[in-house]
Amino acid sequence: MKYSTSFAKTTKIAPHDADSANARFLVQAGFINQLMAGVYTFLPLGIRVLDKIKNIVREEMNALGSQEVYMPTLHPKEHYLKTGRWDVIDVLFKLEGAGGKEYALGSTHEEIVTPLVQQYVKSYKDLPVSVYQIQDKFRNEPRAKSGLLRGREFSMKDMYSFHLTEEDFEAYYEKAKQAYLNVFHRCGIDAIITEASGGVFSKYSHEFQTPTECGEDLIYVCNTCQYAQNREITELKDGDKCPKCEGTIKETKTIEVGNIFPLKTKFSESFGFTVAGEEGKQVPVLMGCYGIGPSRVMGSIVEVHHDERGMIWPKSVAPFQVHLVSLNAKDQTIQEKVIDVAEGFYQDFVKAGVEVLWDDRVETSPGEKFADADLIGIPLRLVVSEKTLAEEAIEWKLRTEKEFRLVPLQDIMEQVETFVSE
């Protein structure tokens, strides 16, 4: 993409209510735009990051054998009356349609997925089944805050699995834990598996908690084996000996990036979802549910990876791999040469499938271009200027490093291709 053509540019002014690094940098860099508290538009740079996170999630869920679906957001009240949750889910957005008919906006999809799968699964031979979707969820959060971390409309991947036996469920639940760890690792953040209560769903659950100063959760985690419990269930204190090993428990601020729950037969019983078991007897289906918030993950990545100048994207989720910057020269002939060389590389990168953002603006000073590159946080910055061309080279600088080096023009293509494939 040529930056001159991008309609959403960087801005020097931080949003007045920016209470976190992700709220400030994502808005300033033109990745997201706030419509109202907790509700954001994803701009061209932002949607590229969000889509990459969603695709990582998608790949890992597909590898688990789960099948992607896309369920409606508009839900009929009747399904919630069956599960008794119409007045229990405190964050449920409720609306009234024509003829006084009542609806909810999806905050989670057990009420929809259970009767859906029930229509197709008749016998134990049809189990296990797992389905997932990636969709916006709506929650009337009392306090939307911290940019993408707590929204009222936000992206969620929710997966639901259906099993005949407890053993089969347990085995899948353990595999899902590993898939979740893979997702967060590939997104460049740590996630500590944390024992937690099940909330409105079940007795216990497992949260995936990423340590960050602006996190709203407190967990108690062992500095040796990473055994962890959430504040709400735990009797552990800072400095305690770990119940699982010789390590010491540390109180740590975190943000919950994922959560998986055994649902047992809570929802299958509400809908009368039974299957004919091996002996022909009808038995209720066992369920599990598994959530990840891709938009919250995006905000969390920024919380973990930034400095005072801006964001520092891991390659796997960066909007572009290369930020090509051409600097203006006073001399017209040299200026044309600079643009020529930059344009040549830009075209070659595009042809080679290297994702490149070219800051081709002509009215903008070098200082502003460098500040924008730091703010946007693309992993590799390449600068073409009168000075670098005098050396028949391009300036090569990683966002994670302070120093740059000069790379000869004829070596650029090969080195860039190696860099993006590493």
Sites of contact with ligand ATP (CB under 6 A): 108, 139, 141, 150-151, 154, 156, 256-259, 291-293, 295-296
Decide if 195 contacts 229 (C-beta within 8 A): yes
When binding is defined by CB under 5 A, the residue of 146, 230, 259, 295 that contacts Mg ion is: 259
Decide whether 164 or 257 has the Cβ nearer to ligand ATP.
257
Can you spell out the DSSP letters for 182-234? HHHHHTT---EEEEEEETTTEEEEEEEEEE-TT-SEEEEEETTT--EEETTT-
Which of Mg ion, ligand ATP, none has residue 293 at its interface (CB below 5 to 8 Å by kind)? ligand ATP
CB of 50 to Mg ion, least distance (A): 20
CB of 148 to ligand ATP, least distance (A): 7
The gap from C-alpha 182 to its chain's centroid, in whole angstroms, comes to 13
Decide if 305 contacts 314 (C-beta within 8 A): yes
Place of tokens 């839900």: 75
Which of ligand ATP, Mg ion, none has residue 257 at its interface (CB below 5 to 8 Å by kind)? ligand ATP
Which of ligand ATP, Mg ion, none has residue 258 at its interface (CB below 5 to 8 Å by kind)? ligand ATP
CB of 175 to ligand ATP, least distance (A): 18
Instruction: Give CA–CA dist 109/375, Å, rounded.
Output: 37
Decide whether 158 or 360 has the Cβ nearer to ligand ATP.
158
Region of residue 239 (phi > 0: left; psi between -120 and 50: alpha; otherwise: beta): left
CB of 387 to ligand ATP, least distance (A): 45
Q: Which stretch binds Mg ion (CB under 5 A): 62-70, 255-263, 358-366, 383-391?
A: 255-263
Which of Mg ion, ligand ATP, none has residue 230 at its interface (CB below 5 to 8 Å by kind)? none
Decide whether 228 or 373 has the Cβ nearer to ligand ATP.
228
CB of 335 to ligand ATP, least distance (A): 46
CB of 218 to ligand ATP, least distance (A): 12
CB of 157 to ligand ATP, least distance (A): 8
Decide whether 191 or 324 has the Cβ nearer to Mg ion.
191
Instruction: Give CA–CA dist 304/307, Å, rounded.
Output: 9
Instruction: Give CA–CA dist 7/247, Å, rounded.
Output: 52
Token pair of 375 as six digits:
């703010």
Query: Does the protein bind Mg ion through residue 28 (CB under 5 A)?
Result: no
Decide if 21 contacts 302 (C-beta within 8 A): yes
Token pair of 286 as six digits:
């066992």
Decide whether 213 or 414 has the Cβ nearer to ligand ATP.
213
* Phi/psi at 394 (5° precision): -130, 145
CB of 199 to Mg ion, least distance (A): 7
Decide whether 210 or 259 has the Cβ nearer to Mg ion.
259
Token pair of 95 as six digits:
């609306």
Decide whether 259 or 295 has the Cβ nearer to Mg ion.
259
Burial class (CB in 10 A: 0-12, 13-18, 19+), 288: buried
328 to 367: interface string for Mg ion, x by CB under 5 A? ----------------------------------------
Which of Mg ion, ligand ATP, none has residue 319 at its interface (CB below 5 to 8 Å by kind)? none
Q: How far is CA 316 from CA 52, 265, 312, 320, 392, in A?
A: 7, 38, 12, 10, 31
Instruction: Give CA–CA dist 303/410, Å, rounded.
Output: 38
The site for Mg ion (CB under 5 A) is made up of: 259
